[in-house]
Structure 1
């Protein structure tokens, strides 16, 4: 068994940052795009998160998680030095500050928890990646913020998670994108340090003696091909969380204008099994999902169906989300043998003279869960989301999001959730 070893809650500057900063000044000052094509943004994020728990299942009997925090996200992206082989640097700086918390309301995912059982007053991280580009192929070594179907980027708390390793992206053939890489560690969304990668099966983290079972190798490779004027795309991916699980993923997405309507389909399939030393035991999961959409003017309607097959729920990297059609931030509807339906409706108020205001409501119901406790598991969730972007004045660009959730289950803890999020981004370069 491998256990996570995480760096203390201090400002963490990885080796890749030192390598990037050591690039010759002559390269950084060269004409051809390193400076001219650089961009930098600073996002201020104010986040209130509250969850009330009832009919609690499991050893943790905490009845409420509620915190308020302020975050800052600095992203810098350089251009490339001139020549056949171009060099560049990307960097990210993250800072989280506690505004309100208490020992009986911790573990919202916004703030780290200290050894004393309290939320940390602040946490921060600084990371960078060296990037090398030849034609339409790019290699990145260092801090990674990836959006892959087998490692979905979940920026759903105060600060985004990051990964450390190497990634390769190639788009030499029109419409075809090839990707591959190896990640050695991760910095979770509520920590400053980094550590090895663990796994969840369904919504349950895999632990031994209270510690997350981890590994220092996540390998992946995949291809996406878009055609039909970009309206259709197919994908095939493979990933391996070494000695924990391996996974195959296939996808099909399509958008079709039909008169005044735009019809869409998002289909996907996962096939997962145990890997190598089988540190979390044997695994058997096949997951299929479909999410159909129909857009007419300001109205968008969705209908989704999702099914789990095999003896277990869907495995994934710990604290990550997935592209499953029925996965939402509270319940994922990915337990063993679960079947779930979703209906959703979104409306854009711009047609009523209120640009920037959008709202959506969805309802998901799941059943047929193999609870392992002699009864069928059932659950449902209702989400209400409202978003507004200020269109003019001194606060132009301020993004406000409100979420209200009710989630109920007969085999896991019930949740009532509220989120209030303010985002504002400055373009520095």
Structure 2
């Protein structure tokens, strides 16, 4: 930990000293005033501003367990097949209708999005049960094609404040949709977003169900890392994003997962210098999680944080990140969400009890070399000092973790079309390797993913 902290500090000092010689990012204070625009006052009408859009995503993943690991497939509760390889290939399509807001002091609008998935690989021995990648039923048989209403809500807006009721998408540090499969998750409930000020936005919401990535029905909330079957009926959240300086953005959020935990989040991002010479971005994320209510997940007292520093010179960005969990449980979050805004959340979340981790990464943006839209990245992360031996509960399977370690490295490339009828279409290929000690939960695995996303406009 001492060496990692020293490395982060040294990079920070070096980057600041060089950035100070560049044309600096403005550090000007931003006074809080009422927003200069009134979104509802600019409403064009329910039909007049309607849009029918969509996207289709071709999602392929090929996993290979190493060091003796195997995926298994069961029929009638009995293992009938095992193999170190698992392949999933799914086409996910979204058709989204969004109306405009009606005119007047109070405007009303609606949004409806149909999600459809087609299993392109239907070999049971490839899918190995599908996990949360391909929807399966009975004895691991794939559902060849299925659809659901992914979004369905009504909205009411006054000035720059919008109330949304129904199935919707959220993206906050304590409750966020996750889109790393063919289709994303969404949430059933009520939320409000207020942007009445120029540099402050306020969000709040209450949700009673999640629509999972690879399921047709709504489900109750559960923990991502639980070792039990506990579920929660409600998630309440609220938060503020505040930009006090042109170079500084801060966030504070709080949530309550009913009878699981209270969770609090604080973050800031600061920009310094000039990326054409040398720019430095500093990002801190901190979560405090404490058990609450009936304590269905047992005793939890967890502090988790990450600090990342990114130095950018034209096409090149180099980052170093340090992350630490202080507590005898995992840093946990709600399943089928992406509510883990931490620097070292990769294929592995690097969130074991008392875990420390360091990541180094490099990004090359080929726009500076005449190929806009093409990017390459490479990273390596290492986790160490994982210790769950002091955990006394039963909700998490961590008691055998004593000095566990693991590492992960990945390479990736993405390309986004800049023009033409397929403009904004993206293709991304990634290859990831993860290796773990005996009792680290993520195991040893290689994974290749190829994901192509094509947006389209219907009207």
Both structures adopt the same fold (TM-score exceeding 0.5): yes
Q: Which residue of 2 aligns with 1:325?
A: 343
Which has the larger displacement, 98-107 or 307-316? Answer: 98-107
Q: Which residue of 2 aligns with 1:153?
A: 177
Q: Which residue of 2 aligns with 1:48?
A: 60
* Rounded Cα–Cα distance in structure 1 between residues aligned with 2:99 and 2:258: 33
Equivalent runs, 1:130-209 vs 2, <5 Å:
130-200=154-224, 204-207=225-228
**Equivalent of 2:137, from 107, 114, 118?**
114
Match of 2:368, SS? helix
* Rounded Cα–Cα distance in structure 1 between residues aligned with 2:417 and 2:285: 36
Q: Which residue of 2 aligns with 1:6?
A: none
* 1:311 lines up with 2:328 in the alignment: yes
* Rounded Cα–Cα distance in structure 2 between residues aligned with 1:345 and 1:194: 39
Q: Which residue of 2 aligns with 1:19?
A: none
Match of 1:351, SS? helix
* Rounded Cα–Cα distance in structure 2 between residues aligned with 1:364 and 1:128: 39
Match of 1:364, SS? strand
Query: Cα distance, 1:244 vs. partner?
Result: 1.1
Query: Cα distance, 1:374 vs. partner?
Result: 6.1
* Rounded Cα–Cα distance in structure 2 between residues aligned with 1:218 and 1:177: 20
* Rounded Cα–Cα distance in structure 1 between residues aligned with 2:89 and 2:102: 42
Q: Which residue of 2 aligns with 1:11?
A: none
Query: Cα distance, 1:388 vs. partner?
Result: 1.0
Q: Which residue of 2 aligns with 1:301?
A: 318
* 1:79 lines up with 2:100 in the alignment: yes
Which has the larger displacement, 389-398 or 346-355? Answer: 389-398
Query: Cα distance, 1:386 vs. partner?
Result: 0.4
**Equivalent of 1:387, from 409, 414, 431?**
414
Deviation per CA, 1:145-185: give whole Å up to 9, x if none: 10000113221110000110001111112211111110110
* Rounded Cα–Cα distance in structure 2 between residues aligned with 1:256 and 1:290: 16
Query: Cα distance, 1:40 vs. partner?
Result: 2.6
| 1:65–1:108 CA contact under 8 A, matched in 2 | no
| 1:41–1:428 CA contact under 8 A, matched in 2 | yes
* 1:415 lines up with 2:445 in the alignment: yes
* 1:377 lines up with 2:404 in the alignment: yes
Query: Cα distance, 1:46 vs. partner?
Result: 0.8
Q: Which residue of 2 aligns with 1:64?
A: 85
Q: Which residue of 2 aligns with 1:402?
A: 429
Query: Cα distance, 1:312 vs. partner?
Result: 0.8
* Rounded Cα–Cα distance in structure 1 between residues aligned with 2:369 and 2:131: 36
**Equivalent of 1:269, from 258, 267, 286?**
286
Match of 2:306, SS? strand
| 1:53–1:64 CA contact under 8 A, matched in 2 | yes
Match of 1:214, SS? coil
* 1:427 lines up with 2:451 in the alignment: no
Query: Cα distance, 1:353 vs. partner?
Result: 2.1
| 1:349–1:355 CA contact under 8 A, matched in 2 | yes
Q: Which residue of 2 aligns with 1:10?
A: none
Match of 2:344, SS? coil
Which has the larger displacement, 66-75 or 100-109? Answer: 100-109
Q: Which residue of 2 aligns with 1:239?
A: 255
Which has the larger displacement, 283-292 or 98-107? Answer: 98-107
- The root-mean-square deviation of aligned C-alpha atoms, in Å, is 1.9
| Residues paired across the two proteins, number | 390
* Rounded Cα–Cα distance in structure 2 between residues aligned with 1:88 and 1:374: 51
* Rounded Cα–Cα distance in structure 2 between residues aligned with 1:280 and 1:175: 37
Match of 1:83, SS? coil
| 1:244–1:276 CA contact under 8 A, matched in 2 | yes
Match of 1:100, SS? coil
| 1:239–1:246 CA contact under 8 A, matched in 2 | yes
Counterparts in 2 of 1:374 and 1:314: CA distance versus 1, 3 Å: closer
Deviation per CA, 1:373-403: give whole Å up to 9, x if none: 2631101110111001234555444311101
Q: Which residue of 2 aligns with 1:356?
A: 373
* 1:254 lines up with 2:251 in the alignment: no
Counterparts in 2 of 1:374 and 1:380: CA distance versus 1, 3 Å: closer
* Rounded Cα–Cα distance in structure 2 between residues aligned with 1:254 and 1:353: 29
Query: Cα distance, 1:81 vs. partner?
Result: 0.5
| 2:238–2:254 CA contact under 8 A, matched in 1 | yes
Match of 2:179, SS? coil
Query: Cα distance, 1:280 vs. partner?
Result: 1.8
| 2:405–2:436 CA contact under 8 A, matched in 1 | yes
| 1:340–1:366 CA contact under 8 A, matched in 2 | yes
Q: Which runs of 5+ in 2 are unaligned?
A: 1-42, 73-81, 389-398
Query: Cα distance, 1:62 vs. partner?
Result: 5.5
Q: Which residue of 1 aligns with 2:47?
A: 35
| 2:269–2:282 CA contact under 8 A, matched in 1 | yes
